Amino acid sequence: MSDQHNMRLSLKIWRQANSLSKGQMVDYELDGVSPDVSFLEMMDQLNDKLIKEGKDPVAFDHDCREGICGMCGVVINGQAHGPEKETTTCQLHMRKFKNGDTIVIEPFRAKPFPVLKDLMVNRSAFDEIIKAGGFITVSTGQAPDAHTLLVPKGDAELSMDAAQCIGCGACVASCKNASAMLFTSAKISHLGLLPQGQAEAKTRVLSMVEKMDELGFGNCTNEAECEANCPKNISISNIARMNRQYLCSAATHPTM
């Protein structure tokens, strides 16, 4: 693409030195942005400029830049991961914006996701939820031949739909209650739809939900913002499945 298509943008970015300090929105102008670059490449361009001007570059999380690691994620013009459906921040391209646009860039905000610096947040709460039961207890070497367990194709596909969650946190950032129910239910569905996951199905849902609540995530009030902003199109039907499993498990599990 030739330079004549390059854009000039006004950026309003959340700057915060560390988790203890107070943050604020800061305005930047950036010229010469090619429509072919990704959103993060635009941020690289801004940082390059800031460094050369002797200013502090904007900190943001990112790693694979292919939309699969789940490390990146900012709120762009009020939407987690920006305007393109089923797309992570790193895979959003600047051709989705116009010359002269003002773009507001903020971190994923939620009480359980404290800001570390600028647009970087601490999402270790998600690890804590997985630690509470997002696994199948099998040790290396215990597994029988893979074909001893048949999984109907439909179940395998549904399980895979849920397993695609990349743990980015966009669901939490999009929810007015900062609920982690889409994330938690995706893991519960992924494992709970497979025969391998049955032995621990009841304890899993109970302990993961309990942990989620304990960490300060809110509850689901069916706004479906999480699904709308999920880069992997995880369906809120997983939340329904989790709630059903939770009820059944709480009612029948002997320890509860």
Partner 1 sequence: MTIKKLDGKVPGGSIQDSWNNHRFKLKLVNPANKRKYRVIVVGTGLAGASAAASLSELGYNVDVFCIQDSARRAHSIAAQGGINAAKNYTNDGDSIWRLFYDTVKGGDFRAREANVYRLAQVSVNIIDQCVAQGVPFARDYGGYLSNRSFGGAQVSRTFYARGQTGQQLLLGAYSALMKEAAHGKVKLHTRSEMVNLVMVNGKARGIIVRDVVTGEFSKHVADAVILATGGYGNVFYLSTNAKASNASSIWRAYKKGAFFGNPCYTQIHPTCIPVHGDNQSKLTLMSESLRNDGRVWVPSKVGDKRPPNEVTEAERDYYLERIYPSFGNLVPRDVASRNAKFQADQKKGVGPSGMAVYLDFRDAIKRDGLNVVKEKYGNLFDMYERITAENPYQVPMRIYPASHYTMGGLWVDYNLMSNLEGLFVLGEANFSDHGANRLGASALMQGLADGYFVIPYTIGGYFADYKPDGLKTDHPEFEKALHESSERFQRLLKIQGKRTVDDFHKALGKIMWDDVGMSRNAKGLQHALKEIPAIREEFWRDVRIPGSGSEVNVELEKAGRLADFLELGELMALDALERPESCGGHFREESQTKDNEAMRDDEKFCHVAAWEWQGEGTKPIRNVEELKFEHVKLAQRSYK
Nearer to partner 1, 167 or 220 (CB): 167
Interface with partner 1 includes 254 (CB under 8 A)?
no
The residues, ordered by sequence, that sit 6+ positions from 193 with a Cβ below 8 Å of its Cβ are 155, 158, 159, 162
Nearer to partner 1, 35 or 223 (CB): 35
Nearer to partner 1, 196 or 219 (CB): 196
Q: What is the rounded distance in angstroms from the CA atom of residue 39 to the CA atom of residue 158?
A: 31
Site mask for partner 1 (CB under 8 A), range 74-113, x = bound:
----------x-xx---x-x-x------------------
- Strand locations in 122-224, DSSP E? none
Q: How far is the CB of 122 from partner 1 (least distance, A)?
A: 7
Which residue from 158, 145, 249 is spatially nearest to 201, judged by alpha carbons? Answer: 249
Contact in structure between 91 and 38 (CB atoms under 8 Å): yes
Q: Which of 20, 22, 100, 144 binds partner 1 (CB under 8 A)?
A: 144
Restricted to residues 200-239, the positions that interact with partner 1 (CB under 8 A) are: none
The phi and psi torsions of 104 (rounded to 5 degrees) equal -100, 125
Q: Which of 10, 99, 102, 124 binds partner 1 (CB under 8 A)?
A: 124
The CA-atom distances, in angstroms, between 207 and each of 22, 26, 112, 124 are 35, 42, 18, 17
Q: How far is the CB of 172 from partner 1 (least distance, A)?
A: 14
Rg (CA), the chain: 21
Q: How far is the CB of 91 from partner 1 (least distance, A)?
A: 5
As given in the structure block, the two tokens for residue 124 are: 């270790």
Nearer to partner 1, 140 or 252 (CB): 140
Q: Which of 99, 102, 196, 219 binds partner 1 (CB under 8 A)?
A: 196
Q: What is the rounded distance in angstroms from the CA atom of residue 136 to the CA atom of residue 162?
A: 16
- For residues 33, 37, 40 and 45, what is the CA-based torsion angle, rounded to 10 degrees? -40
Q: Which of 160, 199, 250, 256 binds partner 1 (CB under 8 A)?
A: 160
- Residue at token pair 């367990």: 149
* C-alpha 85 chain-centroid distance: 14
Q: Which of 5, 8, 55, 98 binds partner 1 (CB under 8 A)?
A: 55
Contact in structure between 226 and 174 (CB atoms under 8 Å): yes
Q: Which of 52, 222, 254, 255 binds partner 1 (CB under 8 A)?
A: 52
Q: What is the rounded distance in angstroms from the CA atom of residue 117 to the CA atom of residue 23?
A: 9
Site mask for partner 1 (CB under 8 A), range 14-43, x = bound:
---xx---------------x-xxx-xx--
Nearer to partner 1, 33 or 239 (CB): 33
Interface with partner 1 includes 159 (CB under 8 A)?
yes
Interface with partner 1 includes 54 (CB under 8 A)?
yes
Q: Which of 8, 98, 111, 131 binds partner 1 (CB under 8 A)?
A: 131
